[in-house]
Amino acid sequence: MQENIVSAVGLGSTELQIGIKGDPSLRETASDRCRYESEIDRLFNQVEPVLEEMLLQRGLFRLFIGFNNSEVRTCSIFDPLREEIHDATSLVSAAYVDRHFPKIPYSEKTRVMRQLYKALIKSDLYHYMPGHLQNIATKRHKMWQPMAEDEVRHVLQSLKLLRSLPEYYLRNFSISTVQSVVRLQFNCDGTQIIHARDFATFIKENLP
């Protein structure tokens, strides 16, 4: 069960982070490519509190941000099998956010997630899974807790700093409150996958 990078149970308890090297040509030329200030960079002080609200007070449980093109991908508890794509600049409009992202308290969203997994465990779908995966799913369901709200805030509030690094700056980012996993991809094409509980340590150890 250690074959995949992030398994059904998330990152291993002993792993602070996992690094994945990208395209060597991008890595070697990273310092020669200046950071382009995108629209989301210019609006980030307005957008960041909205992202917090969408994860903590609305239906989202997974979020992806492409800083170079202002692409925002979202997954919602109200339609968990689909992914939506939004322009980050649209998120400064309160009316737009209200139209697309229904409100739900974080505690209630957590309760709904538990109900969904409980329904899956009791469904015929699990008959298609081998016994070891059924056991993992059952144990995970009993022990599961979502990402802590303070962890969500700390991660999102750190993005501007990661984006403004002079050389190896953040290119895109994703967060899953279900798995408590943060993914950071930098302009050198390297990727860091970090458990939310270790994110503060990652920032302290890797940023000046």
Q: How many residues in total does the chain contain?
A: 208
Q: Copy the structure tokens of residue 204.
A: 């302290």
Asked whether 170 and 186 are in contact (CB, 8 A), the reply is yes
pLDDT digits (tens, 9 = 90+) for 99-149: 999 999 999 999 999 999 999 888 998 889 898 888 888 888 888 999 999
Measured CA to CA, the distance from residue 61 to residue 54 in angstroms comes to: 9
**Exposed/middle/buried for 90, CB within 10 Å: 0-12, 13-18, 19+?**
middle
pTM over 0.85: no
Given a cut of 50, is residue 13 above it in pLDDT? no
Asked whether 184 and 194 are in contact (CB, 8 A), the reply is yes
